[in-house]
Every structure is written in C-alpha cells, then in structure tokens.
Structure 1
Amino acid sequence: MRRSVIDMKTYLFDLDGTLLDSIELILKSFHHTARVHGRPERSDAHWLAGVGTPLRVQLSQMAGSDEELDALLETYREYNLEHHDAMAKPYPGIIEVVRTLHRNGVKLALVTSKLSRGANRGLRLLGLEEEFPVRVCADDVVQGKPHPEPVLKALSALDASPSDAIFIGDSDHDIQAGRRAGVETAAVSWGPFAREALEAAGPSRWIESPEELLGL
C-alpha cells in the first residue's frame, strides 16, 4: 500500500520549478548566451527539456571545446545572477508549507542541479536558508540528476532512510533520480511541465498544490 505523505519523515526538494519560479529567467539566460556567442537560436521547449540536469551538460551541446564551454557557462551565469532577484519568485503557498514542515520536525534537504552559489541565492530570496541546512548542489556530486547520487547524498547527510523519504520535483530528471535512489517521488503540477510529459517517469504521486504536502 502506498504510504501517506504525512507519514514521511524526510522531504527532499528540487529548487527551480518546485520551490522557485525561475523558468522565465532560465530560458532568457539560455537565449542570451546563444546570442552572445553566435550560436543558432533554439526553442524554449528545447531548453526546457534539459531543466533538472546540470548546466554544464545542457550547454555542452553548444560548445566545441572545454574552453568554449567555460565561456558559455560564464556568460549564462553572469546574466542569470544579474537578473535573478528581479525575475525569480516563490510559487504561491510553498514557503508557508516548507516552514510548517520544518516546525513539525520533518527532515528537509535541497537537491538541485544548480551550483551552490546559485542555489544559496535562491534560498536567500525565498527566505528558506534556515529550513534547508542540508543542500546537495551540482558542485557537490560527480554525477547529477537523473543519476541517484544527489538524492543518496542528501539522505546520507540527513541520516535518513529511503523508506520514509520523498523527493518532490517538477521534471522527469527529478523523478528518475528519486526512483533510482529508492525513495517515493512526487511530481508537482505548478512547474513548467505538463502531466503528460512526466507520466513516463512514473512518479509515486501527483501534487496539485503545496498544501497537499502537509497531508491535507
């Protein structure tokens, strides 16, 4: 029998598209980077397909060498950080839910494909730094999502068992990473991906509003 969310002792959260509405910022950062470096324009759908994987992996398709990739990464990150606080915002209701979980003694961790600098800035913008003392970012692992390493590392840091943990995310990469790590998975409806795009990944459950994470 599937366990109730309210029985879960450990909640692992993705950042972009789950806690932080930064999708427009991400897409504009990709388009800006392509223009600056004279690369062919690609659609929003193309870039969205890679959301949830490390930025280095996403930009490598535009690079012919390690030097070019480093230049692309620098351009992307400069633009993204410059516009971050003006364009990114929390999803309605998610801050209150996370704070309630924290007050109730639930173990929390952030599992993101962002580098630590960007992830920390996102948490500062959300006002959730205290709630997420454990953060597993792209520069903390060898293999990013959809590999299970980030999820397993978060569980280890929390001294938590996969059997009572759930990973909440918005992309198929989140769901795949969680399933491979042996935790329950929840796909949120407020991210950039339609339910049809996530069904193949096989999430344990679908979350229509942040309040559902409290078992309401």
Structure 2
Amino acid sequence: MNHPGDTLRAVILDLDGTLIDTADDFVPVVQTLRAENTLPPLPAEAIRNTVSNGARALVTLALDLREGDGDFPHWLDRLLTLYGGILGAHSRLFPGVQALLDALAAAGIPWGIATNKPSRFTLPLLQRLALQPAPASIVCADQVSRGKPDPECLLRNSRELQCLPAQAIYIGDHRRDIEAGRNAGMYTIAATYGYIEDGDNPDLWGADARADSGHDLAARVFNTRPQHSATA
C-alpha cells in the first residue's frame, strides 16, 4: 500500500514488543512457573521472543502444556496472577519511540494503541507509565469480538481517531499485526526490533516498510531519511 504522505491523520501501534518493552515483566513470571514445577530456568531470550504470542504461548513455553491439557487453565490463571502482581515494574518504552510520539505531537497527529492484551492489564500499565503525549485511542482484546489479525480493532481505532484507515499507519512486531493492518487497508510498518521468534522472517510478513530500531520509526512514519539506524 502507498504511504499516506500528506494525508496522514493517525498512527497506531501494537503494545507489547512495539511501543513498550514489557518482556522483563514476563521473564520472572515464567521462571516462577518453572520453579513451581521443579523445572530449571529458561534462557531469558527465549521468553522475550515469545511475549508477543500472548499468555497462552508463555504457559506452553514454560511448562510444555497445550490448550486442552487438564492443567492448562490453572497454570494460565497462575501466570496472569503473577503478571498482575508485577505489572509494569520493569516495562519501558523502546529506545527511540518517544521521539516518534514527540514528532506526532509536533505535527498535530494523534496516535493510538491496538493490542490483543486485555484491558485489565493494558490500562493499569499505561497509567503507570504515564506516556506523553497520551494515546487518543486504546483498543484492547476484550473490547472487540475478534482479535488480530482481524482488523476490527484497527477499524475502531480509526473511528476514534476520526480518520479513514488509508490515512493511518499501523506498526507491529508480529505477522498478525501486519496482516491486521493490511486487512484494515492501512500502511504497515514491521517493528523488527521487537519480539521476533527464532526462525521467523519479518521480510515475509508483507509489511510496507520495516523499522529495525525504535529510532527509525519517526523516519518511516514521516517518510524521511532515518537519522539513526540499528545497523549503522
């Protein structure tokens, strides 16, 4: 899809792995699950790379359980309880992302969040981080009937941000983010600095552009030459 250029009216970001680095909250949670099952710790990087797949995937990673296994609901609830107790303690914006938010504010362009994370975790996390400028639209998994890659959340963002989908850009660190953006008719940017699983190739996601660092985001959004690059 073509970059919206001068018609750009909004930017929407995925939460975990794109806007905010939340993985360091999940690492101790997964390690606690392992310890409670007398299992040795996992490499932190393996946990980080799984965060974007959600809580169920983290239970599978931690305990080699699958949905449908008898103990799965218990350990999913345990993981969410542990996460709720540590929520936001180690989370932070990815380096360079604040520059994008500042540039959007300077240009008078609102921004929003589309996440598969439930609002009971998303809203307290954002309150704790107190981002400025604040997002003008937040759409969580429990506020829509179908999660990403369905475009429902992004279409709701568009309505709340008062723009057409083609006037918005969506940024995400997972294939389903890019699929959701394309399904909504938005220009998409793959955040390849995020939580990419081993063996996954962001170049195959079909994104319109990629940002290898949070420092590249503003340039990709405003279609200018990056001032910083992860590969420079």
**What interval of TM-score do these two structures reach, taking the shorter chain for normalisation?**
0.7 to 0.9
Pairwise CA distance, 1:83: 2.7
Equivalences for 1:1-216 in 2 at 5 Å?
A: 2-3=2-3, 7-33=7-33, 35-36=35-36, 51-53=51-53, 55=55, 59=59, 62-64=66-68, 68-69=72-73, 71-128=74-131, 131-193=134-196, 197-208=201-212, 209-212=216-219, 213-216=221-224
Tell me the C-alpha RMSD between the 2 structures. Answer: 3.3
Would the aligned equivalents of 2:111 and 2:137 in 1 still touch at CA under 8 Å? yes
- CA gap of 1:185–1:152, structure 2 versus 1, over 3 A, is same
- CA gap of 1:45–1:90, structure 2 versus 1, over 3 A, is closer
* Helix, strand or coil at the partner of 2:79: helix
TM-score by length of 2: 0.75
Between structure 1 and structure 2, the one with the greater Rg is 2
Matched residue type, 1:24:
D
* Helix, strand or coil at the partner of 1:124: helix
1:8-35 CA-to-partner distances (Å, cap 9, x unmatched) read: 2111111111111112333443443455
Pairwise CA distance, 1:199: 1.7
Matched residue type, 2:195:
P
Stretch moving more, 34-43 or 176-185: 34-43
CA distance in structure 2 between the partners assigned to 1:127 and 1:99 by the alignment: 14
- CA gap of 1:22–1:197, structure 2 versus 1, over 3 A, is same
Aligned residues: 215
- CA gap of 1:59–1:89, structure 2 versus 1, over 3 A, is same
* Helix, strand or coil at the partner of 2:111: strand
TM-score by length of 1: 0.80
Would the aligned equivalents of 2:4 and 2:167 in 1 still touch at CA under 8 Å? no
Ranges in structure 2 where 5+ consecutive residues have no aligned partner: 225-232
Stretch moving more, 205-214 or 137-146: 205-214
CA distance in structure 2 between the partners assigned to 1:150 and 1:67 by the alignment: 31
* Helix, strand or coil at the partner of 2:76: helix
Ranges in structure 1 where 5+ consecutive residues have no aligned partner: none
CA distance in structure 2 between the partners assigned to 1:107 and 1:171 by the alignment: 23
Q: Which has the higher helix share?
A: 1
Pairwise CA distance, 1:39: 8.9
CA distance in structure 1 between the partners assigned to 2:144 and 2:58 by the alignment: 17
* Helix, strand or coil at the partner of 2:15: coil
Pairwise CA distance, 1:99: 3.2
Pairwise CA distance, 1:149: 1.8
